[in-house]
Chain A
Amino acid sequence: ILELRLVQATLFKNVLEAISDLFSKANFDFSGTGLELQAMDTSHVALVALLLRAEAFNHYLCDRDLSMGLNLADMAKAFRCANNDDIITIKAEEDWSDTVTFTFESPEDGEISIFDFDFVGTNGVPLEIPEFPESEYQAKVRMPSAKFMRICKKLSSFGDSGDRDTVVIISVDKECVNFFTRGKTGTSTIVCRQTQTVDKPKEPTLIEMKEQVSLAFDLRYMNSFSKGSTLSDQVTISLSSNLPAVFEYKIAETGYIRYYMLPRIEE
C-alpha cells in the first residue's frame, strides 16, 4: 500500500510547474526512502531527476516499492485546480488496478476533489544516473535561481526565439560567468560577476573554475530548466566539455531537482 500526505499542495504544485512544460510523462518511484521521479523529453535531449525524501511528507507510508508512469500534463491540470493550502493525499494499492488516487481537501470549506490517474508508459526512464566524476567538470557556478530565470527570459526575448536552434553560450572564467546569444540583427551578452563576500548579498554568485569553459546550450531547454526556481532560490550549474551539464536546485534539506543535457557541439 502507498499512502502519502502533504498538508500544503504548494510543494507538489511547484514540482509540476518545474517539469510539466518540457516533460510530458514521468516515472514515479516510491520506496521507503521517499519519491524519486525521472523524465526525459520526447527527443531524449534532456533528463530530469527529482528526489523528495520521505521527510518532505507529513505522512509517508510505503510498505512495498512502487513504480508508476504518470502523465504530467493531466497531473498539472489537476494541480492547477488545487489551492496552495489544500491537503493532498496520494494513495495506491497494489491491487493491480494500475491507478493512483490524488485527493485534494480544502481546509476552509472541506471541499474534496479526487483524481484517479492511470499508469502510462514512460519513454525510456528510469535510467541509472552515475555519479559523474567531479574532475570532469571544468567549472561550477552557483547563483540565484531567479537571476538565472531572468537571464534566460531576457536572452529569449532578444534571441531569435522563432529559430528553434537559438543557443545561449555560457562561458566561465575565474571572475565571471557570461551568457551570450545571437539574435536576428545583433547579439546580447549578460555578464554576471562573482560576488565578493564583502558585498554580503542576499544570494551570492559563486564560481569554482578548474579551467575556462564556454559551452552552447539550446535556449528553449535553458528556459525550461530555469523553472526549477519554483523549488529553490539557488541553482548550481556544472559544466563539462564531455559530460552532461547539470542544473541542480536543492529543495530545502528534503531533496533536489537536477536537469541534465549535453552542450551543442560545433559540427
Chain B
Amino acid sequence: GRKQSTITNYFVRT
C-alpha cells in the first residue's frame, strides 16, 4: 500500500 502523510509539518504554526 501507499502511505499518506499529513501536511502540517511542511507549514509553520503561526
Q: Specify which of A47, A127, A262 is in contact with B5 (CB 8 Å cutoff).
A: A262
Which bucket holds chain A's interface residue count?
Answer: 20 to 34
* CB contact list, A206-247 vs B, under 8 A: 216, 218, 243-244
A121 within 8 A of B: no
Q: Specify which of A40, A130, A218, A265 is in contact with B7 (CB 8 Å cutoff).
A: A40
Q: How far is the CB of A82 from chain B (nearest CB, A)?
A: 32
A190 within 8 A of B: no
Inter-chain contact total with CB atoms closer than 8 Å: 57
* CB contact list, A60-101 vs B, under 8 A: none
Q: How far is the CB of B2 from chain A (nearest CB, A)?
A: 4
Which B residues are CB-close (under 8 A) to A244? 7, 10
Q: How far is the CB of A166 from chain B (nearest CB, A)?
A: 11
Q: How far is the CB of A134 from chain B (nearest CB, A)?
A: 16
Known: A126-B14, A127-B14, A130-B12. A260 touches B2 (CB 8 A): no
Q: Which of B5, B7, B8, B14 has the most CB of A within 10 A?
A: B7
Which A residues are CB-close (under 8 A) to B1? 165, 267
Which A residues are CB-close (under 8 A) to B2? 165, 167, 216, 264-267
Known: A165-B1, A267-B1. A127 touches B6 (CB 8 A): no
Q: How far is the CB of A243 from chain B (nearest CB, A)?
A: 7
Which B residues are CB-close (under 8 A) to A218? 4
Which B residues are CB-close (under 8 A) to A54? none
The answer to whether B4 and A127 have CB atoms under 8 Å apart is no
A124 within 8 A of B: yes
Q: For the complex, what is the distance from the CA of A165 to the CA of B3, rounded to whole Å? A: 10
Which A residues are CB-close (under 8 A) to B11? 47, 127-130
Which B residues are CB-close (under 8 A) to A43? 6
- Interface code A247-267, partner B: CB below 8 Å = 1, 0 otherwise? 000000000000011101111
A1 within 8 A of B: no
Q: For the complex, what is the distance from the CA of A90 to the CA of B2, rounded to whole Å? A: 44
- 5 A-B pairs with CB atoms under 8 Å apart are A47-B7, A124-B13, A129-B11, A262-B10, A265-B2
Interface residues in chain B, defined as those with a beta carbon under 8 Å from any beta carbon in chain A: 1-8, 10-14
Q: Besides the contacts A40-B8, A45-B7, A262-B6, what 5 more A-B pairs have beta carbons closer than 8 Å?
A: A43-B6, A47-B11, A124-B13, A244-B10, A267-B1
